[in-house]
């Protein structure tokens, strides 16, 4: 049975503007700093009828009770008993069993289904989840095998959820005034809640596009750039860890929504499969919900030799390129090609890859405290065939 | 068919029913206008932007011309067109400045599209999109199926013959919001804090009720040419093409009838094996950047009798959005006017 050790503690995250924000969060390193989001828990299901159970030892290094809830899981136990809401003199103090400051509590979690889930604090949750006490759980189907045709799936072989690469996008919003109040031990009126930052994996754009474990963001280890090759099936896992709903729109293609809240969108009646998945170009990633989707981009077949684009490329000196002196563009309309950019322009293009924005269409959410670009935005980078590593965009099979 | 379109980007002023004018950025159609006359369109931006209507297989050459913003001559913002939802688009024609090209004042850029999937899409500027979308650079875009033929009922469809999407009349229900404080700041060359966004007006087709159901006059609505009045004969099938390019979710309802949802985001709701997942709704709940195709059958209150038009109300079930500047009934309200069968001639263009 897998066992995960988590510590609830505090720490700081940083925004692209260089601001530092006090957080509470989880770490899987004893004595470590809180990270945002918490460590991703990846579990591979046992072959049914065996149940899949994992243990989490939560040690509370904060100064108030902390707990964990596991929305969507079948059964959660502490000391062999189902978890229960906790009262003190008749007053609800926690939605579930908690650890007092300095204590360790062990949750035994029985999974219910492959898919994407959240874990989050169930004690004073408006405060504690806002402060950062949340993370994602990925449950893999029992037959999951990375890179194996037909077995590299979100929900099991034969469910139509095969993928070539996968990316987890945990969504949240932050009101820095709230975090400051908690840091200073002041009261905060929840009606005043007003986010100024919107985040994917605890990062605001453009930091979302930095790699995993980039040294300048020690407590925000997970990147959110989607790297892929044309025609590949990319599994996008959205998890809404905030209290707002976010309409996410990837440029370049619709997504097919194959799983909602860690459940395959499919009914089977008397052996007859009714597929309930559907395609959208904007998916509302709502509070507490998860959306598993397959995204693909194949391009339009343009090629400079055999199928040139039907318009002329304007003189680029007459056009506006990029943003404030930098661009992600290669200078060419063709995948895998580079063109000449106006001199002085800094291009971050590597291999003639094409970039497609993935962002909240509630556009104020793609700012950092009102300044564009920022917030809940990242890029999908489509690289020329054969240029990305085998393990790019592959999360571990299990912990 | 080869389609040449030329759209200019500029600024302008729009009206709300409380008599206030609001500064906007936006698009205006200048297809076929002689080069020497295009600057006559400076300051003539329209809200909603001119709808673009294509047929599957069209080869569309859309030229964007930036003719500048006369109210803000200091602004030299480039602009783009992003065709939202176009599958497999290449970055070069996607209209996102950071990984491609934007159009400075006085310049042109031609986008090429060959739409292959029918449905209701949208387009908008993607330069600093929070500002340019809120300022009004937004419009609907329809792609008709390849077999579309309005002269034959079974071929006058949203998604093609045999898809169960036949309609007699169609209407854009284009949703957005307007924060007058932010528009005012931008007119006065000041920077808003977008996290303080707080709309004061809720618009259908760029207008707030009762403007949604009235006609422009020489003084008013000159740059808001699109009514949202739905006129239909009893018994007809009406297709509403909802598009949301505001920053809020909206909940549109039309008591007296029920919507069949036959398209979402320019896709029929179909499972992987072609399962028909269309469904019925009383409220169309739609988030920013989404579109919904809803068909309803116009009820017949006449039962063979002559009579005056019977009215149904279309409004936002987020009831706070049915006001003008928070005071008077207005905002996201429109009406359906039902006529006895055979009264209205066939529709030859949307929103007639
Ligand atoms: Cu976009
Ligand atoms: Cu868009």
> Residues A293-311: pLDDT tens digits?
999 999 999 999 999 999 9
Enclosing H/E stretch for A131? helix A125-131
pLDDT at B54 over 90: yes
Peptide bond into A49 cis (omega under 30): yes
Mean pLDDT of chain A: 97
Is A251 an 8 Å CB contact of chain B?
A: yes
* Average pLDDT score over residue span B151-158: 97
Tell me phi and psi for residue A239, to 5 degrees.
Answer: -135, 120
Distance B129 CA to ligand 1 centre (A): 8
Q: List the single residue in A with minimal CA-CA distance to B63.
A: A311
Which residues of chain A are within 8 Å of residue B84 when distances are taken between CB atoms? 249, 281
Mention every residue, 6+ apart, whose C-beta is less than 8 A from residue A49.
Answer: none
pLDDT at B137 over 90: yes
pLDDT at A243 over 90: yes
* Average pLDDT score over residue span B105-117: 97
pLDDT at B307 over 90: no
How far apart (Å, rounded) are the C-alpha atoms in residues B181 and A322? 29
Cα A308 to Cα A305, A311, A312, A355, B102: the distances in Å are: 6, 9, 10, 20, 21
Residue A324 pLDDT: 85
The shortest CB-CB distance from B98 to any of A297, A316, A323 is to A323
Residue B238 pLDDT: 98
pLDDT at B25 over 90: yes
Closest CA to B47 of B199, B263, B163, B208: B208
Residue B328 pLDDT: 87
Please answer whether residues A22 and A183 qualify as being in contact, where contact means their C-beta atoms are separated by less than 8 angstroms.
Answer: yes
The answer to pTM > 0.90 is yes
Q: pLDDT band at A221, cuts 50/70/90? A: very high
Which residues of chain B are within 8 Å of residue A154 when distances are taken between CB atoms? none
Residue A291 pLDDT: 98
Q: pLDDT band at B304, cuts 50/70/90? A: confident
Is B215 an 8 Å CB contact of chain A?
A: no
Question: For strand A3-14 and strand A53-60, is the pairing parallel, antiparallel, or unpaired?
Answer: parallel
Residue A399 pLDDT: 78
How far apart (Å, rounded) are the C-alpha atoms in residues B50 and B64? 13
Mention every residue, 6+ apart, whose C-beta is less than 8 A from residue A366.
Answer: A198, A205, A359, A360, A372, A373, A374, A375, A376, A377, B129, B130
Of all residues in chain A, the percent with pLDDT exceeding 70 is 100
Residue A355 pLDDT: 98
Calculate how close chain A gets to B326, using CA atoms only, in Å: 20
Calculate how close chain A gets to B137, using CA atoms only, in Å: 13
Residue A100 pLDDT: 98
Please answer whether residues A201 and A224 qualify as being in contact, where contact means their C-beta atoms are separated by less than 8 angstroms.
Answer: yes
Please name which ligand lies nearest the alpha carbon of B133: 2
Residue by residue, DSSP assigns B106-170 as: T-EEEEEE---S-EEEEEE--STHHHHHHTT-EEEEEEE-TT--TTSGGG-BSS-TTSS-B-SEE
Calculate how close chain A gets to B43, using CA atoms only, in Å: 22
Mention every residue, 6+ apart, whose C-beta is less than 8 A from residue A293.
Answer: A235, A236, A237, A238, A255, A256, A257, A258, A259, A283
Q: List the single residue in A with minimal CA-CA distance to B59.
A: A310
pLDDT at B318 over 90: yes
Task: Extract the runs of DSSP E, i.e. beta strands, from B150-222.
Answer: 169-178, 201-204
Distance B77 CA to ligand 1 centre (A): 18
Q: pLDDT band at A180, cuts 50/70/90? A: very high
**Structure tokens of B24?**
């906007």
Is A249 an 8 Å CB contact of chain B?
A: yes
- Each residue's pLDDT tens digit, A284-294: 999 999 999 99
**Structure tokens of A60?**
């509370």
B277:A276 CB<8 A: yes
Residue B305 pLDDT: 85
The shortest CB-CB distance from B128 to any of A253, A319, A372 is to A372
Q: Could you give the dihedral angle defined by the CA atoms of residues A305, A311, A316 and A318, in that order, rounded to the nearest 10 degrees?
A: 160
Mean pLDDT of chain B: 97
- Each residue's pLDDT tens digit, B261-272: 999 999 999 999
**Chain A 166-205, CB below 8 Å of chain B: which residues?**
194-196
pLDDT at B308 over 90: no
Q: Distance from CA of residue A213 to its chain's centroid?
A: 15
Which residues of chain A are within 8 Å of residue B130 when distances are taken between CB atoms? 363-364, 366-367, 372
pLDDT at A323 over 90: no
Calculate how close chain A gets to B324, using CA atoms only, in Å: 22
Calculate how close chain B gets to A377, using CA atoms only, in Å: 12
Please name which ligand lies nearest the alpha carbon of A355: 1
pLDDT at B109 over 90: yes
Residue A269 pLDDT: 87
* Average pLDDT score over residue span B117-146: 98
- Each residue's pLDDT tens digit, B63-72: 999 999 999 9
The shortest CB-CB distance from A247 to any of B92, B98, B289 is to B289
Calculate how close chain B gets to A299, using CA atoms only, in Å: 5
pLDDT at A209 over 90: yes
Calculate how close chain B gets to A72, using CA atoms only, in Å: 24
* Average pLDDT score over residue span B225-237: 97
**Chain B 322-351, CB below 8 Å of chain A: which residues?**
none
Which residues of chain A are within 8 Å of residue B249 when distances are taken between CB atoms? 245, 247, 284
Distance B284 CA to ligand 2 centre (A): 19
Q: Distance from CA of residue B260 to its chain's centroid?
A: 20
**Scanning the structure block, which residue is given the tokens 């009579």?**
B307
A323:B97 CB<8 A: yes
Q: Which of A83-87, A253-257, B213-217, B325-329 has the lowest mean pLDDT?
A: B325-329
**Chain B 152-211, CB below 8 Å of chain A: which residues?**
192-197
Strand, coil or helix: A316: helix
Cα B152 to Cα B147, B157, B167, B263: the distances in Å are: 10, 10, 11, 21
Question: For strand B291-297 and strand B237-244, is the pairing parallel, antiparallel, or unpaired?
Answer: antiparallel
Is A318 an 8 Å CB contact of chain B?
A: yes
Domains, chain A, ranges and CATH? Answer: 3-295 (2.60.40.420), 316-382 (no CATH)
Q: List the single residue in A with minimal CA-CA distance to B92.
A: A333
pLDDT at B327 over 90: no
- Please tell me which residue, B308 or B142, carries the higher pLDDT value: B142
pLDDT at B119 over 90: yes
* Average pLDDT score over residue span B182-211: 97
B269:A278 CB<8 A: yes
Is A368 an 8 Å CB contact of chain B?
A: no
pLDDT at B326 over 90: no
Is A354 an 8 Å CB contact of chain B?
A: yes
| A-B contacts at Cβ under 8 angstroms | 188
Residue A252 pLDDT: 98
Domains, chain B, ranges and CATH? Answer: 2-148 (2.60.40.420), 173-339 (2.60.40.420)
């Amino acid at each position: 049975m897998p066992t995960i050790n988590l510590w609830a503690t505090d720490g700081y995250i940083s925004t692209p503007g260089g601001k530092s924000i006090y957080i509470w969060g989880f770490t899987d390193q004893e004595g470590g700093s809180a990270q945002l989001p918490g460590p991703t828990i990846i579990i591979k299901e046992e072959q049914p009828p065996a149940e899949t159970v994992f243990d989490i030892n939560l040690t509370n290094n904060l100064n108030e009770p902390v707990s964990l809830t596991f929305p969507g899981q079948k059964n959660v136990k502490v000391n062999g008993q189902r978890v229960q809401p906790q009262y003190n003199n008749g007053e609800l103090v926690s939605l579930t069993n908690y650890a007092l400051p300095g204590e360790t509590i062990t949750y035994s979690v029985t999974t219910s289904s492959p898919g994407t889930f959240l874990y989050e604090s169930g004690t004073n949750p408006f405060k504690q989840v806002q402060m950062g006490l949340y993370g994602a759980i990925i449950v893999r189907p029992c037959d999951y095998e990375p890179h194996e045709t037909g077995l590299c799936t979100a929900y099991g072989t034969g469910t139509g959820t095969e993928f070539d690469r996968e990316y987890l996008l945990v969504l949240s919003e932050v009101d820095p005034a709230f975090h400051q109040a908690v840091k200073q031990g002041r009261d905060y009126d929840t009606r005043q809640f007003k986010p100024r930052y919107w985040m994917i994996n605890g990062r605001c754009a453009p930091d979302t596009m930095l790699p995993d474990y980039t040294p300048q963001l020690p407590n925000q280890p997970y990147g959110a750039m989607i790297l892929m090759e044309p025609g590949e099936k990319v599994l996008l896992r959205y998890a809404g860890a905030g209290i707002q709903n976010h309409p996410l729109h990837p440029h370049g293609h619709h997504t097919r929504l194959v799983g909602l809240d860690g459940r395959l969108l499919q009914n089977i009646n008397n052996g007859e499969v009714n597929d309930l998945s559907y395609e959208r170009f904007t998916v509302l990633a709502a509070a507490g919900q998860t959306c598993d989707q397959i995204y693909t981009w194949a391009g339009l077949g343009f090629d400079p030799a055999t199928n040139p684009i039907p318009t002329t490329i304007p003189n680029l000196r007459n056009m506006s390129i990029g943003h404030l002196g930098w661009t992600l563009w290669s200078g060419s309309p063709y995948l895998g090609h580079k063109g000449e950019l106006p001199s002085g322009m800094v291009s971050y293009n590597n291999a003639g890859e094409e970039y497609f924005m993935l962002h909240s269409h509630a556009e104020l959410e793609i700012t950092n405290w009102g300044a564009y670009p920022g917030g809940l935005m990242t890029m999908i980078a489509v690289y020329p065939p054969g240029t990305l590593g085998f393990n790019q965009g592959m999360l571990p099979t299990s912990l | 068919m080869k389609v040449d379109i030329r759209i200019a980007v500029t600024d302008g002023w729009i009206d709300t029913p409380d008599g206030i004018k609001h500064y906007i950025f936006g698009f205006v159609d200048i297809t076929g206008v002689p080069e020497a006359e295009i600057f006559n369109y400076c300051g003539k931006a329209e809200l909603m932007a001119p709808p673009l209507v294509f047929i599957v297989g069209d080869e569309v050459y859309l030229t964007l011309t930036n003719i500048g913003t006369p109210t803000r001559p200091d602004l030299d913002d480039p602009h783009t067109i992003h065709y939202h939802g176009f599958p497999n688009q290449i970055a070069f024609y996607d209209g996102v400045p950071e990984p491609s090209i934007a159009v400075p004042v006085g310049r042109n850029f031609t986008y090429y599209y060959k739409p292959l999937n029918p449905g209701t899409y949208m387009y908008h500027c993607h330069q600093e999109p929070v500002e340019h979308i809120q300022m009004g650079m937004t419009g609907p875009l329809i792609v008709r199926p390849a077999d579309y033929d309005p002269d034959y009922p079974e071929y006058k469809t949203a998604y093609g013959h045999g898809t169960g999407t036949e309609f007699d009349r169609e209407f854009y229900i284009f949703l957005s919001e307007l924060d007058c404080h932010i528009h005012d700041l931008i007119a006065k060359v000041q920077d808003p804090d977008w996290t303080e966004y707080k709309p004061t007006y809720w618009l259908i087709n760029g207008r707030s009720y009762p403007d949604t159901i009235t006609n422009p006059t020489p003084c008013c609505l000159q740059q808001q040419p699109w009514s949202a009045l739905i006129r239909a004969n009893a018994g007809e099938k009406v297709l509403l093409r909802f598009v949301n390019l505001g920053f809020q979710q909206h909940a549109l309802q039309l008591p007296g009838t029920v919507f069949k949802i036959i398209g979402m985001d320019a896709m029929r709701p179909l499972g992987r094996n072609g399962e028909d997942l269309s469904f019925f709704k009383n409220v169309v709940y739609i988030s920013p950047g989404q579109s919904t195709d809803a068909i309803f059958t116009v009820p017949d209150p006449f039962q063979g009798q002559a009579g005056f038009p019977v009215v149904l109300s279309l409004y936002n079930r987020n009831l706070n959005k049915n006001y003008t500047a928070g005071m008077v009934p207005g905002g996201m309200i429109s009406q359906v006017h039902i006529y006895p069968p055979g009264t209205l001639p066939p529709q030859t263009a949307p929103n007639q």
